[in-house]
């Protein structure tokens, strides 16, 4: 895929269908779907691999989740950083 190519990920499903169709061009998302297709071949199927590197796949609608980014306070961020430092010191 060209470096300046438009990156688009599309999710679509019909109201009475339990299967969602994914059209993906973002490498990170493609890798995730490829891994899931290997782990769950009966539920996740890659239906097309295009010459530009994009893929089309089917997954169960129940796998689709839309959620906002978690808000972390400065205090929580500092506490998590301190915990990670302690873990790294033990290694």
- CA gap 30, 25 in Å, rounded: 7
pLDDT in tens, 3-42: 556 788 999 999 899 999 999 999 999 999 999 999 999 9
- Residue 57 above 80 pLDDT? yes
pLDDT in tens, 64-78: 999 898 898 999 999
The residue behind tokens 């590197």 is: 53
- CA gap 12, 17 in Å, rounded: 10
Q: How many CB atoms lie within 10 A of CB 74?
A: 7
Kindly report the pTM of this predicted structure. Answer: 0.69
Closest listed residue to residue 18, CA positions, set 58, 66, 67: 58
Q: Where do the domains of the chain lie?
A: 1-64
In the chain, how many H helices and how many E strands?
2, 4
């Amino acid at each position: 895929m060209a470096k300046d190519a438009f990156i688009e990920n599309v999710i679509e499903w019909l109201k009475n269908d339990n299967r969602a169709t994914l059209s993906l061009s973002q490498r990170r998302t493609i890798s995730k779907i490829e891994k899931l297709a290997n782990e769950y071949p009966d539920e996740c199927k890659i239906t097309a691999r295009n010459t530009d590197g994009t893929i089309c796949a089917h997954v169960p609608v129940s796998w689709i989740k839309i959620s906002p980014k978690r808000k972390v306070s400065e205090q929580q961020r500092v506490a998590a950083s301190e915990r990670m430092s302690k873990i790294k010191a033990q290694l």
